[in-house]
Amino acid sequence: MQPFVYNALPARVIFGRGTLSQVGPEIQGLGCNKALVLTTPGQTKEGEALKTDLGVLAVGLYSNATMHTPTNVTEEALLVAQRLGADCVVALGGGSTIGLGKAIALRTDLPQIVIPTSYAGSEATTIIGQTENGLKTTQKTMKVLPEVIIYDVDLTLTLPTQMTITSGINAMAHAVEALYSKDSNPITDMLAEQGITRIANALPILFKDPGNNEARSDALFGAWVCASCLGTVSIALHHKLCHTLGGTFNLPHSETHTVLLPHTIAYNTPFATVAMTKAAHSLGAPSAAQGVFDLAKNLGAPYSLKQLGMKEEDLARAADIAMENPYPNPAPLEREKLLSLLKDAYEGKRPA
């Protein structure tokens, strides 16, 4: 056994069905009684219902959480929280809502209770990405780690099929990067392999039967496991490119992860053969890059940046931005090779 360093993150995780009913007791368990509920505009109805259920424990609802966590939206939400005297936030939703809760916590240290309704995984990490003036930047800090995560499988039963697939592959990206991270270790490797396997097995079932409870449970558990891996190691090229395309070119988050993951795996595989062999085995495929590409395409997910609205003439600029302040990565970062990666992703080519 080689020497390693593993930093476990403190977290209270409640997993099951019908666990939404435990939000109130968890607010009180944090010593709070003035929760601000957060959602996106599309989940306002669910936020209102949760606020009603919480009764006097909720002081309001802010329902304008936005993709890529724009700082102007965070500032608006902060004003609402201050005006209402909120002493904690309850984020109900996917990555956009969870990101807003983390951004508020970064500025105020308000405790967070997070109720994920997708497989985004942000709830289990100390990473926050924020967009300002068309540029998305990230940082890692314990200030944004939620105090409580409540996973309710029932809340994922109505997740649209395509969002299920792209959100699931987004979650897998967390585990893939953990496997080849400079901080990889036997514990996160074991969790990453299990997370990839759970999601890879669940997605084809959910494509045919979106209401399958067992597959929904496996996918949600897998998403937590994958995110837990990423929460303890460093992110690399894949996330750098996704943050670039999302923050600067406003591409949708999970779909961008889905399109790019096969190509970032292919870029890194020659320099991370052991890690990507583990990923391929977890996928049940000869090649990790091709396994992810085939999974996405066969399940009807987008597989090219062109499908997401990316403009070919912007690829060079994206490569330039990705070369700035690069994250640690197994393969050396070379602009022309990155541009080639982006062109392949733009065209939707199956990795060689």
Pair 128, 144: CB distance under 8 Å: yes
pLDDT (0 to 100) of residue 237: 96
pLDDT value at 1 more than 80? no
pLDDT (0 to 100) of residue 188: 95
Name the pLDDT band for 138 (thresholds 50, 70, 90).
confident
pLDDT (0 to 100) of residue 5: 87
Q: What is the percent of the chain with per-residue pLDDT over 90, rounded to a whole number?
A: 89
pLDDT (0 to 100) of residue 166: 97
Q: What domains does the chain contain, in order, with CATH numbers?
A: 12-156 (3.40.50.1970), 161-347 (1.20.1090.10)
* pLDDT tens digit sequence for 211-251: 999 999 999 999 999 999 988 898 899 999 999 999 899 99
Cα distance between residue 246 and residue 5, in whole Å:
32
pLDDT (0 to 100) of residue 76: 98
* pLDDT tens digit sequence for 89-124: 999 999 999 999 999 999 999 999 999 999 988 899
Higher per-residue confidence, 25 vs 3 = 25
**Strand arrangement, sheet containing 35-38:** 12-16, 148-152, 112-116, 88-93, 35-38, 58-62
Pair 198, 221: CB distance under 8 Å: yes
Mean pLDDT of 336-344: 98
